[in-house]
Structure 1
Amino acid sequence: MSDEKLSAVHSSTFKADDAHIEHANAGRDQEGRLALPPRMFTKEEEAKLYRKIDIKDPPLYDRGNIGNARLVGLEADLGMSGSQYAVALSVFFVTYCLFEIPSNLCLSRFRPSLWITLLTFSWGLVMTLMGVVQNYAGLVVCRLLLGATEAGLFPGVVLLLTFWYPRDLLQRRVALFFSAATLAGAFSGLLAYAIGFMDGVGNYRGWRWIFILEGLMTILAGVLAYFVMVDRPEQAGSWLTPEEKAYVIWRKESDGSSVGEAKHISWKYVKAAFSDFQCWCALGYYTGVLTALYGVGLFTPSLINSFGTWTRPQVQLLTVPVYLAACAYVLVTAVYADRLKTRFPFLLAAQLLCLVGFTINLTPAPVGVKFFGLILCAMGAYGGVPAMITWLTGNLSGQAKRGVGSALTLGLGSLGGVASSNIYRSADAPRYFLGHGVELGLTVLGICCSCLYAFLLTRANKAKEAEQARQDALPEHEKRVYTVKELQDLGDKAPEFVYTV
């Protein structure tokens, strides 16, 4: 829908609602529509402004270090079998799934910076404790707690970013945060290599130091986050001028709506998320991408180890180029996705990379080709996450609906991690037919669901445009008009809201 048609929708479908406007935010005209900020910024000024805001982004994190720890003696020291390792991986996703929606509701209810700081600190503390567990039961308990503390972190950070950035600037910011996690995976490999020489220090095995040191660094990141992050533009201090604050608030509030979006928590918005086709359609491609992500994140060291006869330190180092390639792909594609204001083509490209990568690893290809296939899998899995999360969150309007919808799909989609934890069995090495085969099948499912989602969104946009054309043809007294509250309650279902495809 063009800007001219969108303006027509704004003017023909809107009427004032005095009772609601009385409690509306500042920056509105007498009819309740969003008023222009005191000064409009040029493209160059806007880019400079958002670069300033980027400094306040949340800290990085790493979730795949248990794969490095496994390679340097975790199972043997705790007396674990291959199946017990899979269980220890799986239980993480149970609490991860259960706590995502409550965590996002807490983030919407309380100060986001405080909640994310608490999650990051708690997560780092649990990770540190994983370095001192003495048996399999202790590891399982820590993994359960790790899932609970990490559950709200990624969807919470994405929700926090939506408070600041309009849809056409969001993916690159999610990518910056997520690429930091990807770099953390590379750093984890380097750290694991270095820690290999710490074996025996303090009478601790090297794998324990992986958890302890990375856990302590995560705790430090959580503490720093509290002093860096700002909850919302209106709460920014002197580092943003009044003109800059007004512009950022207007830029976000006017993103797809002439009246802004609903900000309060209500059960009707929670129900709207559960009943929206977007969340359930997105769940299919979430599952495909996240299963691939967890397969790569948890088993890259083991997969590389199966390729040849390298030493353990060499395997740890070989994980680094896998994550570096993924990081570069995440950042480059996110920039172009925002620039072109589209999501589907980039998500599809990421899914096709996974398709090719897992197919290669199912064949009896040479070691070098399989390693290249693993890099393709990492690029697709990690590159697909910012596209998929910003595609859904950008098309859900209303902070409560967006928070619940993103947590719902990410939480249930993360159960794909249970599959990833159990399909790469030690008995299947070195070919891992079961693991690669399941990943391949779920990738195909994800491709089908993303294509269906794109089709449904395109159809919905055309239906809104057709309805607007019908309204334009009616006499003035017969046209359907909406109050501020009605438009906000409709959210992305409102006639003026255009879905991003």
Structure 2
Amino acid sequence: MTDSGEKAAGSDISHVENCPADLPIDSYLEKKLLWKVDLRLVPPLAFLYLLAFLDRINIGNARIQGLEESLNMDPEGSQYNIALFVFFITYVLFEIPSNMLLKRFAPSTWLSFITCGFGLCSMCQGLVTNWTGLVICRVFLGVTEAGLLPGTIYLMSMYYKRHEFQRRFGIWYVSVPLAGAFGGLLAYALAHMEGIGGYEGWRWIFIIEGIVTVLGGVAVKFWLADWPHQSKFLTDAEKALVQRRISEDTGPGAMDTLNRQALRIIFTDYKIYIGALLYFAIALSGNAVAYFTPTILHYFGYSPLSAQVHSIPIWMAAAVTCVVAGIASDLCRHRYWFIMAGCATTVAGYAILIAQAPGAGHRLPTGVQYFALFLVFIGIQIVQPITLGWLSGNLAGHYKRAFGSAIQVSLGNLAGLVASNIFITREAPIFITGFATCFALLILHALLSSLLAFLMTRENRRRDRGERDYRFELPEEQLNNLGDDHPSYRFGI
């Protein structure tokens, strides 16, 4: 990298015919363009993340079908928690490098490649003969899955305006609860393959789901859109229209050149670090319930197979809520109060579960505990995708979004290290440490969201008063590479 900077791969449209900036954009052509882009982005990316999340959480389904007994793991010890823990170490470490590689390669190639990689890792989990082998597979599962979430945010943000993004991101993110629901249903079916080929039922959960993931990764290579200037499904005029729409939405501070100024702006931006803390706070609950719901339901009194089935309605309710909240958030052009509503819902669910803690003097009926899990899941699926979209929508420029999204997701996913260790078997069936920790982090999320909303509102008012107009005196090359530090930019609350 030189002082003059490195041009972003996705921003090079010098070979594309310009869309005349002095003419209004035809609404029919714009809707037609969005429809084409939607079909080549949202379904394939959602499909990939469904596969990824399924391969990530199926260890929870395998656990109650005999994984620990088969691998001679200590059911009262921490070996299962360590197997969850090691995944997040490599998952966090490789997110930023993966996003940088995504910039170098066609997204369809890179994302398909890593999908095949974590599909193979999932299959290998079904073939291990001891705990050490399981841990090694989980390490490499983290390496290969690391780039999918930040890569998805990065790619989608290069096609959609800020207030077009959340509804599509919500539809994409519905793959998480769908994976949970489908995972429970699939685990129920695959558990009946006990003895086929000499394998236990839990092994078939990993093997079959891994095979499906590899095949899905290959298929998506021919379906997924690449960077706007690379996309063969768009005409030259449509490529130029994509670029014009994004430029008009973000303003002149594109940050399409990576130099010392750009790096300083990126790594000193308070929004990115608050956004990472926000994601940490909600991802703790998201990861915890994803990995431990079958176990929690089992300790509520359901049999292993019944626990798999009873997880399905919870995930489906969360899926519907995720889509509705994303659409409503975009229509209202607002994020903060949706986040607060989601936090309140989840906190209420945790409060019910904590009310039966040791010392409370009673156990709640199974139906009440089950209802509390509905509240927990619904709130999480409102807050988690909107938290990711809120930050991405307030980062302007190719490199700002690439680095910012990856930093948020990588630092935020440190929550997985905590979530892997807070549901302690000896505390069953109450799991007070797990529920209380998640409850406290949701309160923190609400406080940090309020802080971020306040800081961005204050900055908008300062720019309205002209307190950042001195930046217009910068050389044009520097001014146009400020990203959301450009005085013309306004943040969305």
Q: Under a length normalisation based on structure 2, what TM-score does the superposition of the two structures give?
A: 0.89
Asked if residue 55 in structure 1 is aligned to residue 39 in structure 2, the reply is yes
In structure 2, the residue matched to 1:397 is 396
Greater Cα offset, 135-144 or 340-349: 340-349
Question: In the superposition, relative to structure 1, how do residues 28 and 456 fare at CA in structure 2: closer, same or farther (>3 Å)?
Answer: farther
C-alpha offsets along residues 139-184 of structure 1, whole Å, 9 cap, x if unaligned?
Answer: 1111111111111111111111111111111112222221123212
C-alpha offsets along residues 328-378 of structure 1, whole Å, 9 cap, x if unaligned?
Answer: 111000011111222111122222222111111112332212111111111
2:38 aligned partner, one-letter code:
D
Asked if residue 386 in structure 1 is aligned to residue 371 in structure 2, the reply is no
- Cα offset, 1:68, TM superposition: 0.6
C-alpha offsets along residues 79-126 of structure 1, whole Å, 9 cap, x if unaligned?
Answer: 112310011101111111111111111112322221111111101111
Quote the Cα distance in structure 1 between the aligned partners of 2:407 and 2:168: 21
In structure 2, the residue matched to 1:429 is 428
Conserved? CA contact 1:108–1:399, under 8 Å: no
Quote the Cα distance in structure 1 between the aligned partners of 2:487 and 2:222: 41
Quote the Cα distance in structure 2 between the aligned partners of 1:405 and 1:285: 13
CA root-mean-square deviation: 2.2
Conserved? CA contact 1:37–1:246, under 8 Å: no
The aligned runs of 1:157-168 (5 Å cut-off) are 157-168=152-163
Conserved? CA contact 1:97–1:411, under 8 Å: yes
Asked if residue 274 in structure 1 is aligned to residue 274 in structure 2, the reply is no
Quote the Cα distance in structure 1 between the aligned partners of 2:247 and 2:327: 22
The aligned runs of 1:297-316 (5 Å cut-off) are 297-308=290-301, 310-316=302-308
SS in 2 for 1:500: coil
- Cα offset, 1:39, TM superposition: 6.5
C-alpha offsets along residues 11-31 of structure 1, whole Å, 9 cap, x if unaligned?
Answer: xxxxxxxxx9xx9847899xx
SS in 1 for 2:202: helix
Quote the Cα distance in structure 2 between the aligned partners of 1:94 and 1:267: 29
Asked if residue 371 in structure 1 is aligned to residue 398 in structure 2, the reply is no
In structure 2, the residue matched to 1:10 is none
Quote the Cα distance in structure 2 between the aligned partners of 1:176 and 1:496: 31
In structure 2, the residue matched to 1:488 is 480
- Cα offset, 1:483, TM superposition: 4.8
1:448 aligned partner, one-letter code:
L
1:489 aligned partner, one-letter code:
N
The aligned runs of 1:22-421 (5 Å cut-off) are 25=14, 35-36=20-21, 40-42=25-27, 45-57=29-41, 58=45, 59=47, 60-61=50-51, 62=54, 63-81=56-74, 82-237=77-232, 239-257=233-251, 259=252, 261-266=254-259, 268-308=261-301, 310-364=302-356, 365-421=364-420
- Cα offset, 1:210, TM superposition: 0.7
2:405 aligned partner, one-letter code:
S
1:133 aligned partner, one-letter code:
V
- Cα offset, 1:271, TM superposition: 4.0
Q: Under a length normalisation based on structure 1, what TM-score does the superposition of the two structures give?
A: 0.88
Quote the Cα distance in structure 2 between the aligned partners of 1:141 and 1:72: 21
C-alpha offsets along residues 234-293 of structure 1, whole Å, 9 cap, x if unaligned?
Answer: 3232x4344433322211222121x36133444543443222111111122111110010
Question: In the superposition, relative to structure 1, how do residues 246 and 76 fare at CA in structure 2: closer, same or farther (>3 Å)?
Answer: same
Identical aligned residues as a percent: 37
SS in 2 for 1:149: helix
Unaligned runs of at least 5 residues, structure 2: 1-6, 357-363
2:334 aligned partner, one-letter code:
T
SS in 2 for 1:36: coil
Conserved? CA contact 1:39–1:247, under 8 Å: no
Quote the Cα distance in structure 1 between the aligned partners of 2:290 and 2:130: 24
Quote the Cα distance in structure 1 between the aligned partners of 2:324 and 2:29: 22
Conserved? CA contact 2:265–2:482, under 8 Å: no
SS in 2 for 1:442: helix
Unaligned runs of at least 5 residues, structure 1: 1-19, 472-477
Conserved? CA contact 2:94–2:147, under 8 Å: yes
Conserved? CA contact 2:16–2:236, under 8 Å: no
Greater Cα offset, 440-449 or 47-56: 47-56
Aligned residues: 465
